[in-house]
Chains A and B, each alone.
Chain A
Amino acid sequence: MSDYFLGEKCIKKVSFLIFLLVFISCFTISKDLYSKPETSVISDGHSHEDINRGKRVFMGLLPFNSTHESCVSCHNIKQVDTLNWNPSAMAIAAKFADKDFESFQQVVMQPTGIKMEASHKNFNIDEEDLKTVKIYLNDLAHSGVDPAKPTYNNLILFLFLGLLITWGVVELIFLHKIKLKFIPLIIIIGAFGIQVRMIVTDAIKLGRQENYAPDQPIKFSHKVHAGDNAIDCMYCHTTVEQGKSAGIPAANLCMNCHVLIREGANSGKFEISKVVEAAENGNPVDWNRIHNLPDHVFFSHAVHVGSGKLDCAQCHGAVEEMDLMKQQNDLSMGWCINCHRETQVDFVDNKYYEHHLKLHEDLKAGVIDSVTAQDIGANDCMRCHY
C-alpha cells in the first residue's frame, strides 16, 4: 500500500524542492518568453532587410515624405487589442497570409465599404513599399507578435517587503543602529502584515475573475447589438429560459441578420466577414469563455430566468453598454447566497409553490409578508452542489 503515498522521509525534501522549482520556473519561463525567436521565416527569397523595411513602412517611418496616416495608427501590432475597432496587424496578416499580393493591393488601394473608403482615402503608397508591407505581414503571420510584457508590480512589492523584513531582523539582532527598538519591530510586523494580506487576497481571487474581459476572436460588441440596435438578449441566447446554459448563438443564427448586414459602423467589413466565413466554411468560432463558475457548482439559467424572472442585467450588468464583454460579478458563493436571501419568490402566481403549504398559511396569517428564495431552500448545499 505504501507505494500509493510519497515516502514519508522525502516529504520535506520534496516540499522544499517544489518551492524552489516554482520560484525558478517563474523566472526561467518569463525569460524564455522574452528571448526573441532566433529564426525568422524568410519566404519567397525575401531577406530580413525586406521584412524590416516593410515593418518601417507599416509603422509610417518610411517613406519620409508620406502624407497619409501610417498603417499602424489604425492597425495595432500588439497582441492585446481591446479598444481598437480596426483589425490588428496580426488579424490582417493571418487573413492575407495565403493570398497573393494583387488581392492585398486591391483591398488596400481600392477600398470598398464606407469606413475603409474614408480612412484609406488619398492613399499614395509605392507598389514596392506595399510589397514589403505584405512581406512583413507574411512574416508576422508566421512568427507572431511579441507578447505583452507582464507587470511585476506585485512581485517587486512583495520582494521589497521581504527585504524590509530581513533588514528589520538584522537590525534588531546584529546592527542595533536605531535606538528605538519598536521602529524595526513595527516595520517587520507591518511588512509581514502586508505580505500576508497580499497572499490572502490573491488566494481568495484564485479561480475568480471579476471584470475579466478577454479579447475575443471577433470584435463582437454587445453595445452595438443589444444597446444601439436594441436586440433582445433572448433573440440570440435562445435557451436561457429552458436550458441550464443561456447558449452562445450558433453561427447560423448570426447569419439571420448578417446575411444582409455585411458592414458595421465601427469595424467596417473585416469583423463581420469572420462570422460569414465561419458559417460558410464550417469553422466554428472559438470564443473565449468569460463566465466560468467555480468547480463543483451546478447552475441553471432556466430556474433563474425562466421561472425566477430575473433580469439578465442583475447578474451580467449593463451588457448593452459593453463593447467588450466583461464579467460583472465575481460569481462567488457569497454573492449567490446573498442574492438568495434578498430575492423574493413569485409565490402566488406560480402554481408549483402550492407544494409549500406551510408558507402559504404563514403568508395568509401574516406571520411573514414575503417569501425569499432562501425560505424555499435555495441556500441548501444540494441546490447547487451535487
Chain B
Amino acid sequence: MTKYWRSIDELNNPVEFKKTEIKLELDAKRVGIGEQSSSSRRDFLKTLGFSLAAASVVASCKKPINKAIPYLIKPEEVTPGMANYYASTYFESNEYCSVLVKVRDGRPIKIEGNNLSSISQQGTTARVQASVLGLYDDARFKSPIKRGSAVTWEEADEYIIKKIEQLKGANKKLVLLTQTIISPSTKKIIEQFLTANPNAQWLQYDAVSASGILKANEGSFGKALVPDYRFEKAKVIVSFGADFLGTWISPVEFTKGYSLGRKVLDKNDEMSRHYQFESGMTLTGSNADVRFPIKPSEEKTILTALYYQLLQANGFMTIAAPGSPVDVKDVVADLLENKEKSIVISGSNDTNIQILVNAINNLLGNYGSTIKLDKTVNTRQGIDADFETFISELKAGEIAGLLCWGANPVYNHPAGSDIKNAIEGLELSVSFADRNDETTNACHWVCPDSHYLESWNDAEPKAGVYSLAQPTVSKLFDSRQVQDSLAKWSGVAEPNYYEFIKKHWKENLFGLQSEFTDARTFWNDVLQKGVFESKNNISEELVYSENGIDEAVLLANSEQKGWEINFYESIAISDGHAANNPWLQELPDPIAKISWDNFAAVPVKWAEENGIVNESVITINGIELPVYVQPGQAPDTISVALGYGREIAGKVGDGVGKNMFALSAIENGSKKLWVAGADVKTTDKTFELALSQTHHSMEGRPIVRETTFDEWQLDPTSGNELKKEHEEHDVSLYPEPEFKGHHWGMAVDLSSCIGCGNCSVSCQAENNIQVIGKEQVRNRRIMHWIRVDRYFTNDAENPEVYHQPVMCQHCDNAPCENVCPVSATPHSEEGLNQMAYNRCVGTKYCINNCPYKVRRFNWFQYVNNDKFDFASNTDLGRMVLNPDVTVRSRGVVEKCSFCVQRIQEKKADAKLDGRKLEDGEIQTACVQSCPADALVFGDLKNPDSKISKYFKNERNYHLLEELHTLPSVGYLTKVRNKTS
C-alpha cells in the first residue's frame, strides 16, 4: 500500500507526530475559542443595551423637544405634507424633455414625465430623472467668483460691464460661446446683447453635434435642419451606428415611436423590422431584429452599395453596385417592399454619409411620411466647422473676450489644452457654469447660472412646439440666470427674464392660437400644461436636390487596416456634463452592466486569441483602459464611452474613467467620433471594474421566453408553451390566496423594454435608494430595487440580446415570507409582499430564499457616512429624499414595494372622494416615466384593467413559474421580427 505523507516528521515517527499534531490543533482551537468568547458582538450589544436602558431609567432622559413652526401666511396651493406638481422643461446637453416636477414642502424631489407633451409623451430618460439630484449638488457655485475667490454680483457686473465697454471701444472681438439654445426668449436676449455690442459674436457648440446632418440637409434641401423622424410610422428601420433609443437626437421621442410601432398584443398588430449596422453593441443595436457588426470605416461602403442597389431596383442605373462587406440584399428587398414606410438613419458626423442617407430616403419616398421636414428638430444646432474657425481665431489672438455658457470644450474637444491656454490669456473670460468644469476653471470670472429647476425659461425643441420652464424652488445659492446677466450687460438696468418671456409669448405666440382671447389666460394655461403647440403651421415646401451626391458616392480607395476605435455616448453619462451625479455614475451600462467607469469593449475572438479577459488592461494610443469582452463587438474595432475622465467635476465625478474626447479626431472640420489605425497594446496589468451582472446566460432556464413575429402571428402562445405545462403541474397543498379588495400586479412587455435603465433611476429617486460606490457594487451589493438584467444568446460574435427588468415579484406564495424569524415581511391583504424595516433584524434568510434575488441588504450606513461620500452625506444632498419613504439604516433588508406610498396616496384620494379607483390612476415610479411603455401596473381584481388584459394575453408568463411562487409580476414574451 502506498503511503502518503506530508512531512519528514510524519514519515519518521508517525505516532508521535499524530499526538503533537492533535495537541497543536487543540491549542489553536482553544486560542480561537478564547478570543471569540472574550469579544463577541452579541456581548457588546447586550452590555450596551443594558447600560442604555439602565442609564435611561437612572438619568430619566429628557425627550427631545420638537418644534412645530407653522406658516405665517399659508400659501393657498400648499398643504403641508402633500406634493404639488409643476410642469417644466428639461434641456441639458442637447436633450429635451417636458417634465412634471414633484414639489414636497417647497423642495423639488422627483421628476415625472409630462403626458401632454407630443415629444416626450410622459417618457423620460435616466439622465432626466437624475437631474433633480443635480440641483442639490454641493459642487455648485455659491456666488459669483473672480479668479477663485467669491465676489458680489455688483462687483462682477461693474467689472464685466466696464470690460465689455472697453472691448467695444477698441473693437476687439467678444465671443458668446453656448450650447445649442432652443429658447426663443433667450435667443432674443442674445440678439439684444449682440446689438448692444457689435463686436460680439454668438457661437453654438455641441459636444456631440449633428453637423453632419445639418450640412447634408443644407445641401439636399437648401436649409440646415434636423428633420422630424417618425419611427412609429416606419415598417422598416435601418440605422447605421445611430443609437436612437439611447442618446441620438431625441431618444425619448424615438423610443416612444419605436415601441408603438412594435407593440404586438392583439391579433392584427403589426411590427416594424429593425436593422442595425454598428461596431460596438449599443442599446439600439441590442434591440435590433437584425444586427450587422461592421467597422466604422465600412459604413460608407455599405451605404453606397445600398444606394446603388436601390437605384438599380428603381431602374435608374445600369452600372454594377460596388461590393459591400456585408450582404445587404435582404435589407434592400425589405426597404423596397416598404416604400414610404421605412426610415434610414446614420449617426455619423460625416456630411457625405448623411447626403447618401438623404438620397436613399428620397429614393424610398420617406420624406413627408416617416421623415418630416416641417417640424424640424432644434436641439442640435452647433456646426463643428464654425467652432474650428473659432479655435484658430482664439489661438491667433484675434479674440479678446469669451463668455462661455454650457459649453465645455476644454474637456470635450481634442484640442482642449490649447483652448485652455488660449482662454487663460484672454482679456475677459466669463463662464456661466453653475458648477465647476474644465473650461470654467480656465475662465477668470464665474457668473453662475441658476439650475433649471430654479429658473424661468421657454423652449422650442421642434418648430412650432413650445414649452415653458418654471422655478420650483427659490434659488438655493447666490446665482443669477444667464439671461438676466446678459440683459444687464446689454444695458438693461433691472432685467427681469420672467417678464421678458411673458412679453415675448404675448407678442409672438399668443397670436398662434385661437382658443384663448386673453394673453394672461393663455399664459396661465400653458404654464399649467407645460407645453403649447401652434396649430397653424406655416412652413415652406422643401424640395430635394441631389447636391453633393456625386462626391458622396466616391469611395476612399484604400481599404482601412488595423484597429478602429469607436466612441459613443454612454446611456448614463452621455457627454459627461452630469458626471458628478452619483445616481448616473452608479447606473450600470445597459449592455456591459458596468458602472463607475468607462472601458474598452473588445471583440470576443480577439480577446480569446490574446488571452485577454474582463478587467485586463490595454492601452489605446497610450491611454490605459480596462477591458470588457463585448459579445457582438465588430472584429478589429474597440468601443469606448465618452463622458468619463472628467478632471474638474466634483467629488463624485473627478477621475472616474478616461476622457475619450481627447482621442476623437477633426476631419473636414467635423468632430469624428472614431479613429482608424489606433495603436492597441496589451499589458499585464488589471483594473477592477464594478460589474453588476457577470452571468450572461440563463443557465438553461426559461427566464426570457421569446418568439419571432412570424411565429407569433401563427400562434400567439409560441415561445410560451412552457406556461401550459407548468399550469398543468400547478398543484398545491395550500389554499389559493384570496384577495378581498385589490390585488396589485405589474406586467413587463419584454418586447417593448429597450433596457435603458430609466426605471432604475426613477425608482432610486422615488424610494430614497442609496448610492454605494464602486467598491460595494463590485461586492454585488448594488441597491437598485429594479434592475435590468441582460442576457446574450447564440453566436458570441453577434449575439441576440435580451433586457429584462426584475423587481420584487410580490409572490402570493412567497418563499421569503415564511423564512423570516421576526415576521418582518408578511403578505398584505392586497397581494403586496410587505417589508417592515423597523422589524427587520437582518438575518438575510429572505435574501437567501428569494429565487429572483431582488432583496437588498444594507451592509453599511449609507447616509451621513464619510465612507460613502455621495449625495446622502451632506444636508444639501439629502434634500432630495422623499419624505414619504423611510431612509433605511444599516442592517435591514429592503426591496421593491410597488411604490406602496403611491398606492396609499391614490387610495386615500379615492376614499375621500367616495369613488372607485380608476384603472391607471396609480402609477409606480418605474411605470410612470417608462419611455417604451413596457411596464403596466394595476389591479388584477379589476377584469377590465390594462394589467388584467396583459395577464390574460397569450404571451404572458411568470418568472420561474415552476417554483409555484405565484408572482404578481407577469412578463410578456420577447418578440423579434427576424428575417426568415
Q: With A206-B56, A380-B834 as given contacts, are A214 and B900 in contact (CB-CB < 8 Å)?
A: no
Q: How far apart sit A356 and B913, CA to CA, in the bound complex (Å)?
A: 17
Bound-complex Cα distance A350 to B912 (A): 9
A279 to chain B, nearest CB (A): 7
Fill in one digit per residue for A345-363: 1 if any B CB lies within 8 Å of its CB, else 0.
0000111101111110000
Contact A250:B73 (CB < 8 A) given known A352-B911, A382-B834, A386-B886: yes
Q: Given A11-B44, A351-B916 in contact, is the A288-B51 Cβ separation under 8 Å?
A: no
State how many angstroms separate the Cβ of B846 from the closest Cβ of chain A: 14
In the complex, chain B residues whose CB is within 8 Å of the CB of A298? 884, 901, 904
B897 touching A154, Cβ below 8 Å? no
**Chain A 312-353: CB-based contact to B (< 8 A → 1; otherwise 0):** 000000000000000000000000000000000000011110
**A210 CB to closest chain B CB, in angstroms?**
12
**Contact indicator B58/A351 (Cβ below 8 Å):** no
- B 170-199 to A, binary, CB cutoff 8 A, 1 in contact else 0: 000000000000000000000000000000
Residue of A nearest to B939 (CB): A355
Flag A146-158 by CB within 8 Å of B: 1 or 0 each. Answer: 0000111011001
Per the bound structure, the CA–CA distance linking A385 and B845 in Å amounts to 21
> How near does chain B come to A62, taking the closest CB pair, in angstroms?
37
- B58 and A155 within 8 A (CB): yes
The prevalent SS among residues of A at the interface is helix
Give min CB distance, B651 to chain A, whole Å: 20
CB distance from B163 to the nearest CB of A (A): 40
- Which residues does chain B contribute within 8 Å of A257, judged by CB atoms? none
- In the bound complex, residues from chain B placing their C-beta under 8 Å from that of A76 are none
| Interface 1/0 per residue, B827-859 and A, CB below 8 Å | 011101011111100000000000000000000
Residue of A nearest to B837 (CB): A296
Q: Are A307 and B911 in contact (CB under 8 A)?
A: yes
Residues of B within 8 A of A285 (CB): 69-70
| 8 Å CB interface, B58-89 against A | 58-61, 63, 65-74, 79-82
- Once A295-B838, A298-B884, A377-B829 are accepted as A-B contacts, the answer to whether A19 and B69 lie under 8 Å apart by CB is no
Q: B60 and A241: CB pair below 8 A?
A: no
**In the complex, per-residue mask of A1-42: 1 if CB is within 8 Å of any chain B CB, else 0:** 000101011011011101100110010000000000000000
Asked if B915 contacts A352 (CB within 8 A), the reply is: yes
A286–B69 touching, CB < 8 Å: yes
A325 CB → nearest B CB, Å: 11
Tell me if B72 and A154 are in contact (CB < 8 A).
no
B790-802: contact bitstring with A at CB < 8 Å (1 yes, 0 no)? 0000000000000
Contacts of A230 in B (CB 8 A): none
For B82, list chain A residues within 8 Å (CB): 239, 242-244
Least CB distance, B76 to chain A, in whole angstroms: 11
Are B60 and A380 in contact, CB atoms less than 8 angstroms apart? no
Chain A, Cβ-Cβ closest to B38: A12
Choose among A251, A296, A386 the residue with the greatest number of B CB atoms under 10 Å from its CB: A386
Q: Is the CB of B52 within 8 A of A380?
A: no
| Nearest Cβ on chain B to A90's Cβ, whole angstroms | 17
**Are the CB atoms of B828 and A382 closer together than 8 Å?**
yes
| B735 to A: closest C-beta gap in Å | 14
Chain A residues whose C-beta falls within 8 Å of the C-beta of B61 in the assembled complex? 206
| CB-based contact A22/B60 at 8 Å | no
**Closest residue of chain A to B829, judged by CB?**
A377
Is B57 an interface residue, CB under 8 A from the partner?
yes
Contacts of A157-210 to chain B: CB distance below 8 A: 158, 198-199, 202-203, 206-207, 209
Given A22-B55, A243-B82, CB of A355 within 8 Å of CB of B916: yes
A245 at the interface (CB under 8 A from B): yes
B168 contact set on A, CB distance < 8 A: none
Q: Do A199 and B70 contact each other (CB < 8 Å), given the known contacts A296-B838, A381-B828? A: no
Known: A11-B39, A284-B71. A199 touches B53 (CB 8 A): yes
A381, B884: Cβ atoms closer than 8 Å = no
Alpha-carbon distance between A247 and B75 when the two chains are bound, in angstroms: 13
Q: Does B11 contact A (CB under 8 A)?
A: no
Query: In chain B, what residue has the closest Cβ to A25?
Result: B59
Residues of A within 8 A of B65 (CB): 214, 288-289
Does B326 sit at the interface, judged by CB under 8 A? no
A239 to B247: give the CA distance in the assembly, Å: 45
Selected from B72, B885, B942, the residue in CB contact (under 8 A) with A284 is B72
Give the chain B neighbours of A151 by CB distance below 8 A: 60
Shortest CB-to-CB span from B751 to chain A, Å, is 31
Is B908 interfacial (CB 8 A cutoff)? yes
Q: Any chain B CB within 8 A of the CB of A66?
A: no
CA distance A157 to B465 in the complex (A): 78
Of chain A, the residue at the smallest CB distance from B58 is A155
Contact B897 A382 (CB under 8 A): yes
> How far is B53's CA from A22's CA once the two chains are assembled, in angstroms?
11
Chain A residues with Cβ below 8 Å from B44 are: 6, 11-12, 14-15
- How does the 8 Å CB contact mask read for B890-904 relative to A, with 1 for contact and 0 for none? 000000010011001
Closest to A242 in B: B79
Instruction: In the complex, identify which listed stretch (B140-148, B559-567, B738-746) lies at the interface while the others stay far away.
Output: B738-746
CB-CB under 8 A for A307 and B912, given A250-B71, A284-B72, A376-B741: yes
**Which residue from chain A places its CB closest to the CB of B48 in the assembled complex?**
A15
Given the known inter-chain contacts A284-B70, A284-B71, A385-B886, please indicate yes or no for A355 contacting B908, CB distance below 8 A. Answer: no
Name the CB-closest residue of A to B71. Answer: A250
CA distance A382 to B913 in the complex (A): 22
Contact status A303-B826, CB under 8 Å: no
Nearest CB on A from B48, distance (A): 5
B444 at the interface (CB under 8 A from A): no
Q: Is the CB of B917 within 8 A of A278?
A: no
B426 to chain A, nearest CB (A): 46
Residue of B with least CB distance to A13? B39
Query: Are B73 and A350 touching (Cβ within 8 A)?
Result: no
Q: Which residues of A contact B38 (CB under 8 A)?
A: 9, 12
Specify which chain B residues have a CB less than 8 angstroms from the CB of A279 in the assembled complex: 72
**Is the CB of A302 closer than 8 A to any CB of chain B?**
yes
| A155 closest partner in B (C-beta) | B58
Interface members, chain B 812-831 (any A CB < 8 Å): 826, 828-830
- Within the assembled complex, what's the spacing in Å between the Cα atoms of A245 and B826? 28
A295–B114 alpha-carbon span in the complex (Å): 34
> Is the CB of A228 closer than 8 A to any CB of chain B?
no
Q: State how many angstroms separate the Cβ of B39 from the closest Cβ of chain A.
A: 4
In the bound complex, residues from chain B placing their C-beta under 8 Å from that of A14 are 44
Residues in B whose Cβ lies below 8 Å from that of A206: 56, 61
CB pair B914 A26 closer than 8 Å: no
Q: Is A78's beta carbon under 8 Å from chain B?
A: no
Cα A16 to Cα B50 in complex, Å, equals: 11
- Is A300 positioned at the interface, with any CB of B under 8 Å from its CB? yes
B30 within 8 A of A: no
The answer, yes or no, to whether A113 is at the interface (CB within 8 Å) is: no
Residue A375 interfacial (CB < 8 Å): yes
Nearest-Cβ distance from residue A266 to partner chain B, whole angstroms: 23
Contact A26:B59 (CB < 8 A) given known A241-B912, A377-B828: yes
User: For A282, what are the chain B residues with a Cβ–Cβ distance below 8 Å?
Assistant: 72
State in angstroms the CA–CA spacing of A244 and B79 once bound together: 9
A383 at the interface (CB under 8 A from B): yes
Complex Cα–Cα for A16 and B46 (A) = 11
Q: Which residues of A contact B939 (CB under 8 A)?
A: 355
Does B313 touch A at the CB level, under 8 Å? Answer: no
* A22 proximity list for chain B (CB < 8 A): 51-52, 55, 59
Chain B's closest residue to A19 (CB) is B51
Write 29 A-B pairs (CB below 8 A) sorted by A numbering: A9-B38, A11-B39, A12-B44, A22-B51, A150-B60, A155-B58, A206-B56, A239-B81, A244-B80, A244-B81, A247-B79, A247-B80, A249-B70, A295-B838, A296-B838, A298-B884, A303-B912, A306-B912, A307-B908, A354-B916, A356-B740, A356-B741, A357-B941, A359-B740, A376-B741, A382-B836, A383-B904, A385-B836, A385-B837
**5 pairs of A and B residues whose beta carbons are closest in the complex:** A377-B829, A244-B81, A289-B66, A307-B911, A19-B51
Q: A15-B43, A284-B72 are in contact. List 11 more A-B contacts (CB 8 A).
A: A6-B44, A9-B39, A12-B44, A155-B60, A243-B80, A244-B80, A247-B70, A306-B911, A381-B828, A386-B897, A386-B901
